[in-house]
Amino acid sequence: MRLHSLLARSVALAALAGVALPPAGAAPATRRTISASAAATGRPARTGLPPVGVTKPTVEKWFSIGEGELITLPSTVSEVWTSNPETADVYVANPRQIHLFGKAFGESTVFATDRSGAVVFSASVHVAQNSTSIDRVMKAAMPGADIHITQVGQIAVLNGTVDSPADAEQAQRLVAGLLNPGVDTSADNAVLKIGVVNRLRTATPLQVNLQVKFAEVSRSFLKNFGNNFITRDKSGGFTFVGQSGRNPGSISDLDTSNLPTLDASSLYGLPAGSISLPFDPVKRQFVTGGTQFSTTKDNSGTRTTLGLAGRLLGMDVLSAIDLGETMGQVTTLANPNLTALSGETGTFLAGGEIPIPVSQALGTTTIEYKQFGVSLAYTPTVMSDGRISLRVRPEVSQLDYANAVTVGSGRVPALTTRRAETTVELGSGQSFMIAGLMQNTHNNTYDKTPGIADLPVIGALFKSNGFQRNETELVIVITPYLVKPVNGNDIKLPTDSYRAPSDLERVFVGSLEGGNRAADRPKPVMQAPTPAAAPTVGAVAPAPVLPSPAPAPATPTEAPADRKAVKPSNRKAATPAPGFSIN
């Protein structure tokens, strides 16, 4: 009954419009034929055959579901054809006007021809879901954004500019929810009828500040023991030498060449001038002979030498016992930071360049320079969701003269380097330990004289040993921040509050600078957004606050406002916004 009622209503409407309908039970109509009486009220019909070829739509129409237009044609038409009446349909009011409207999501093509078959109107119709309402929602949610939505088939493309990556992500969520009613777009396994491609850009270029921390602690422990001795027998007997390592020294007769010679005849009851002997003015006595011991000095600075000299078993003995125990600790902390645009590469170096001679052909030598110090190179890329992809290469290098090599008449030091190169992805304000090292080395040395050193007790005089342990712990941590420029009055420099000391402060107090020390350096801070605020991805600083206009002149003699210097405000903001701000 309902089907017959619908058919009867369609026949009645067609009779009023002068459109012939197909018989009942046929397929959905795609061609509307205008009656001859209706066509006669317009222009005379064209004569002749239509041109041979393929005609494509010349106009594109975009509608929301339920939206339509009244189109006035340049001449009368006899047929109106639509390729997909379920998507876009037409209603013929008269031979010169048609109503074109969208019915369902999709695409369709509409052609209107005259009695000769010539095309009077052709259009490619795109019906999107709630495109007009989506535009209204986006303007209400983001009034400062410039967003254009283009829907092609089952894909909607977002183009335009927004203030931040957070706004771009929020716009994508809103559009996906409006185009897919009844679907939970936040679920990972959500099946979307219409997908959303986000091509939104930020209005201002995104800038990333990267902070890198090198933290290293190196401990060393060194212990050694060695014994060296020599003997001398002036009677022509046995002379013995036992050495391991450096020479303990030498044994010789006492050198009296530098002592004055005085008359010693009275000591032996002889007439004056008979005997002259060397006289020691320190001991105030004559020197008749003796033994002189000369020791060598250890300049290594890693051990203490205990020297023994005297007569033992009728022999002159000189011994040097080396005892050493050294402990050391080295702590290194480097914290470089650098700011670069998203997609651009930034480099930083705090150090220098060392010249290195390089041999070339025909005996020539050229100089190449090798950088050393604290360096940083990275390329940040801010993703659509506000996360930051980083290609980072931090490095800390120092000159190592212990491993220097001799080139010609000079020595070229080696380089001790800590370097890491990797690609990571993390959010603004998040930290990542990209590299680390824990090293523990032990080194034992044992020097001895074969055979004799294995004898009990006395064998200890013919051997030496050393022990060395090194411990190193190194970590490299990176932290990126999405940043924006701040007010110049809020920036604190290392030279702030510096004043050269006066003569009194420098001489009597020993001060290197006068006045108060500079304030703390600016540091990035992160603050959780308030519940009412839009979701914040990363750390974005507020825009600089411009100074308010100067008040009107109070007197005619007062300088104009545009010539006044604006005094920086000492007042701090009550609550810093999320992002890079200055404490």
Q: Could you give all domains of the chain from N- to C-terminal order, each with its CATH number?
A: 2-45+55-128 (2.60.40.1080), 145-203 (no CATH), 242-319 (no CATH)
The mean pLDDT of the chain is 73
| pLDDT value, residue 122 | 92
Which parts of 399-522 fold into alpha helices (H)? Answer: 503-504
- pLDDT tens readout for residues 18-42: 444 444 433 354 556 555 444 444 4
Q: Is the dihedral of CA 337, 382, 184, 133 positive or negative?
A: positive
407 contacts 359 by C-beta, under 8 angstroms: no
Tokens of 344: 């651009």
Highest-confidence segment of 212-216, 329-333, 524-528:
212-216
Which residues make Cβ contacts (< 8 Å) with residue 88, sequence separation at least 6?
61, 63, 82, 100, 101, 102, 103, 106, 107, 108, 110, 125, 127
The pLDDT, as a whole number, for residue 260 is: 77
Give whole-number Cα distances, 157 to 148, 152, 512, 520, in Å: 8, 8, 63, 47
pLDDT value at position 306? 61
pLDDT digits (tens, 9 = 90+) for 229-239: 666 666 555 55
Between 23 and 91, the more confident residue is: 91
CA dihedral 553, 555, 559, 564 (to 10 degrees): -40
Nearest to 407 by CA among 353, 361, 372, 355: 355
206 to 319, 383, 388, 430: CA distances (angstroms): 74, 10, 11, 17
473 dihedral zone (left: phi>0; alpha: psi -120 to 50; beta): beta
Q: How many residues does the chain have?
A: 583
Per-residue confidence at 546, pLDDT binned at 50, 70, 90?
A: very low
For residue 386, name the pLDDT band (cuts at 50, 70, 90).
confident
Mean pLDDT across the stretch 144-157?
Answer: 81
pTM, whole model, 2 decimals? 0.48
Out of 30-34, 44-48, 100-104, pick the least confident: 44-48
Q: Decide: helix, strand or coil at residue 348.
A: strand
Provide the 3-class DSSP secondary structure of residue 537.
Answer: coil
Q: Which residue has the tokens 């360049």?
A: 353
